[in-house]
Structure 1
Amino acid sequence: MSVLAYFKSLYPIDDDLDLFFERIIEIKEFHKGDVIFEPGSYLKYIYFIETGMTRIFYYKNNKDITHYFFGPNTFSTGIESVFYQKPSLFGFQALTSCKISLIPFQAIYELAKTNIVVNQIIQKALLDSLINFSNRFYNTQFQSALERYQLLLAENPELLQNASLGHIASYLGISQQTLSVIRGQVV
């Protein structure tokens, strides 16, 4: 789904706003493995994944850690970077071939000051991110690795075909060996 179609499914987008979005949104295609931005980058865009699978990652002790997976019809960005002009804590990578809409944050931020629909779009993207990360925190704190793995498969069944076991293990906070044992337990 295109980002404009997604917006129109949620909000009343008039012709002027439709034209505004068509003028500012850039659509890019990425190949499997492409790094869209590295940790430490200064970001100008909110990213809407139209097709494909992506991940947000960071480095800790020279290890690549997956923080979150994103599939079609989801938003991603380094919130601290686009809102506060700080370097992003995270990087963003395509796990499959992807089609991604790049939405310049400054343009929609300025329009949101006077346009309630754009303001609601920004709020929805932020609230969706907050809810996703809140759920992730809860699951990490209160579920076993097996339960987290089962939930990940239930929510993202295509993940096993698109993410490496190393990415999945780091997302779950376990070693690849532990993930192999857990996978053997899941029927």
Structure 2
Amino acid sequence: MNPKIALLKALAEFQFNISSRQIPSIPKRDVCLVASLMKRRQVAKGELILNVGEVLQDIIIIEKGIVRQFYYKNGLDITEQFSSEGQYVVCIESLLLKKPTNLMIEALEPTTFYTIRFCDLEKLLDKSISLLNLYRYFAENNLIFTQYKADAMRFESSATRYAKFIKQFPEAAKRASVKHIASYLLMTPESLSRVRSKLSQKDKK
């Protein structure tokens, strides 16, 4: 299978796993059109793919490696999102409104990814109802996941939040640092270490 198409398939499967909602059917021709827009890039560990003040013009799909989206608040480094193989990352406000972003995207490992220029994708959406339906599916899933995360921060214990994080993002749980995972879960590294220790002891029983 074409590696670009294989990556798009993995991306769709991850989206299904988020919400369990049926993925819209897409003709192979339309999938190939999207694949034709994809451009491959590689970055080193620690390199910023997007920096504060830049305008994001692309959808970023990870082929190999892991990245995080983060920002600074009151001097604290706060992780907003992790994305690894078969997942995408965007700064929605910057992408849609063409505004300079307050967020950064950093490679946590040597990372290979594909970009899709959003203005080119929009032209395809104007011509294909199936792609437009898929785009809507992704947008709705993004809203669903944002609500899931907000509710978790409001109502769930730190242990429950971490347990769900492991299930939803197993690669990030294994490969990201305690500091970055803790900031994503709005916990201190010390609190996260205690939660992990308790879960580990539970698993041994």
Using the size of structure 2 for normalisation, the TM-score is 0.80
Q: 1:20-44 CA deviation, whole Å, 9 max, x = no partner?
A: 4454321112222221101332011
1:12 aligns with one of 27, 34, 58:
27
1:170 aligns with one of 183, 190, 194:
183
- Structure 1: 4+ residue segments shifted above 6 A: none
Q: Percent same amino acid among aligned pairs?
A: 29
Q: 1:62-115 CA deviation, whole Å, 9 max, x = no partner?
A: 221001111222221111111111122321112222221100000111221222
Q: Which moved more, 1:71-80 or 1:124-133?
A: 124-133
Change (3 A) 1:3 1:76: farther
2:82 and 2:108 map into 1 onto residues whose CA distance is 9
2:130 aligns with one of 95, 117, 125:
117
1:154 and 1:111 map into 2 onto residues whose CA distance is 34
Query: Which blocks of at least 5 consecutive residues in structure 1 are unaligned?
Result: none
SS in 2 for 1:33: coil
Change (3 A) 1:178 1:39: same
RMSD in angstroms over aligned alpha carbons? 2.2
Using the size of structure 1 for normalisation, the TM-score is 0.87
Partner of 1:74: 87
SS in 1 for 2:150: helix
1:22 and 1:143 map into 2 onto residues whose CA distance is 39
2:74 counterpart of 1:61 = yes
